Amino acid sequence: MDQVSVTAGLANRRHRPIGAVAVLAPLSALSRNPVAITLAGEGDLTVSAERGKNGKVWLTCGCAQGQADGWCKHRIDLLCFRYDDAPDLGAEDRRAFEQLVGGTSLQAAGQDADRALRAFEECLDIFDARRPKRVVGRDLAKFTDLVSDLASCASELEDALGTLRRLLERA
């Protein structure tokens, strides 16, 4: 296998193709429930994941952003199976967590929020880089286009974070 197809294979394993249905492991098949994940470099923060009978997942984090906003980057990263904040997490814990959240609506919402966050950040960078210095002038139309792109990215982000926040609420 050449390098290109090796890389493509890895990417495919990491990112499910769009439209594929993620398999939800039945509650009785979970190797562990709940699963606790300790975050490094954040004091003593722990993210806790627990699946209930109806497929509802409780994913809690006591960080400042989580308390203020009802969602946090830690949980989005974990729902996308990125473990930069938890470098000491063992393979077994990782598997148990992925089995617990994989294929749930919370995971889908986390991945949507992740995509929307990236799109918004990209859009904001483009806005900062390209906005005309003199707004009211010949470039006003360009400014309007940039603002309208930014507004639609912001509105998609608001929707995605709203859905994620609702699913993260303890109920």
Of the pair 58, 127, the CB lying nearest Zn ion is at: 58
Indicate the residue among 79 and 96 with the shorter CB distance to Zn ion.
79
Give 113 or 123: the residue with its C-beta nearer to Zn ion: 113
Q: Each residue of 112-151: b (16+ CB within 10 Å) or e?
A: bbbebbebbeebeeeeeeeeeeeeeeebeeebeebeeebe
Considering the rule CB under 5 A, would residue 109 count as an interface residue with Zn ion?
A: no
Shortest CB 149 distance to Zn ion, Å? 30
Which residues inside 48-67 make contact with Zn ion, applying CB under 5 A? 61, 63, 66
d(CA 131, CA 121): 15
Tell me how far, at minimum, the Cβ of 98 lies from Zn ion, in Å: 18
Calpha distance 96→35 (Å, rounded): 7
Q: How far is the CB of 38 from Zn ion (least distance, A)?
A: 12
CA nearest 100: which of 63, 62, 47?
47
Rg, C-alpha atoms of the chain: 19
Token code pair at residue 154: 């912001």
Q: Is residue 72 part of the contact set for Zn ion (CB under 5 A)?
A: yes
Residue closer to Zn ion by CB (options 73, 131) is 73
Residue 50 Cβ vs Zn ion, minimum distance, rounded to whole Å:
16
Which residues make up the interface to Zn ion (CB under 5 A)?
A: 61, 63, 66, 72, 74
